[in-house]
Amino acid sequence: MRRALVLSMAALLALPALADQGALVVVLDPGHGGKFPHDGAHGGRGLHEKVIALQVAQKTRDALEAQGATVILTRDEDEDIPLADRVRIANEAGADVFLSIHCNAMEKREDRKVTRGVETYFLSPDPTDAEARMLAQLENGGPDAVPLPKANDPVMGILNDLALGQARNDSAALAQIVQQHIARETKSPSRGVRQAPFLVLSGTRMPSALVEIGFISHPQEGRMLGGEKYQLRVAQALASGVRDFAEKVLVRRLVAQVKPQPGNTGALPVNAATVVASPGGTR
């Protein structure tokens, strides 16, 4: 497989997932799946969030694989995958990036007529506002949903917090970059980057974000989301956002990690910190 990122051996060793897989590893999570109440939001003309999320995820996978990435879907058909299993899939894959794909919706008729746009979330125990809190509750399975289990060992808990700290910081950057791309490339109104306690983002050991690609409940935007042409635009935007994040954040951090410190001559070969962003590069 052709590589999206061509790294020196020293740089590769600084990021196990890239070193082991030979390419950027992305896990895409098509939201929802299966029967009610796990099928997500509904729109007019028989539109279902679970269907659109899967179609867009598959198109995003194709776009990323064309650039040399290794892509795994948490589901590739209409089935209900528990949130904890989606997290487990990403962690066991050693993913560099996790992106959960959803469609938004409004309940009240007057809101359904006017509310549209895209928004991207990163994990935080403190939601941006009441709307973000309500959305997280819905995506989590309701206000009584059981949170993911935590380590009972206090020492393990501390180590996990340290290990996840950088991923949490990078998740905000991932959300920002993905939001910029999808708003610009689809020309959909931007509702901004927000934060909320989504269970599907909790426990992931890599930068993670949840993107609401539009309102399935809006008459015009819903029809667009159900169309092949617009789905391709969304998918290309998501793929561009992930690639942009990898180049701006992941690769630059690798350079910083392997860059020789002042006075530390001979610690690495001269070209050990060389990183070439090459979407069409070779092995």
Task: Tell me whether residue 125 is in a domain.
Answer: yes
Categorize the per-residue pLDDT at 75 as very low, low, confident or very high, splitting at 50, 70 and 90: very high
Domain total of the chain: 1
Residue 283 lies in a domain: no
CA dihedral of 95, 96, 97, 98, whole degrees rounded to 10: 20
Q: Report whether 115 contacts 212 (CB < 8 A).
A: no
Per the listing, tokens 């392997």 go with: 258
pLDDT digits (tens, 9 = 90+) for 88-134: 999 999 999 999 999 999 989 999 999 999 999 998 877 666 777 77
- pTM across the whole model: 0.77
- Helices 49-66 and 228-245, packing angle to 10 deg: 50
The DSSP string of 252-264 is HHHHHHHSPPTT-
Its domain, for residue 127, covers: 5-277
Residue 146 lies in a domain: yes
Tens of pLDDT, residue by residue over 130-168, are 777 777 776 776 544 444 444 455 544 544 554 466 777
Q: How far apart, in Å, are the Cα atoms of 174 and each of 141, 169, 209, 211, 265?
A: 25, 9, 7, 10, 34
Count of other CB atoms within 10 angstroms of residue 162: 9
Q: What is the distance between the alpha carbons of residues 128 and 35, in angstroms, rounded to a whole number?
A: 30
Residue 280, CA distances (Å) to 70, 232, 234, 277 in order: 14, 20, 21, 9
Residue 282 resides in a domain: no
User: CATH number of the domain that 235 lies in?
Assistant: 3.40.630.40
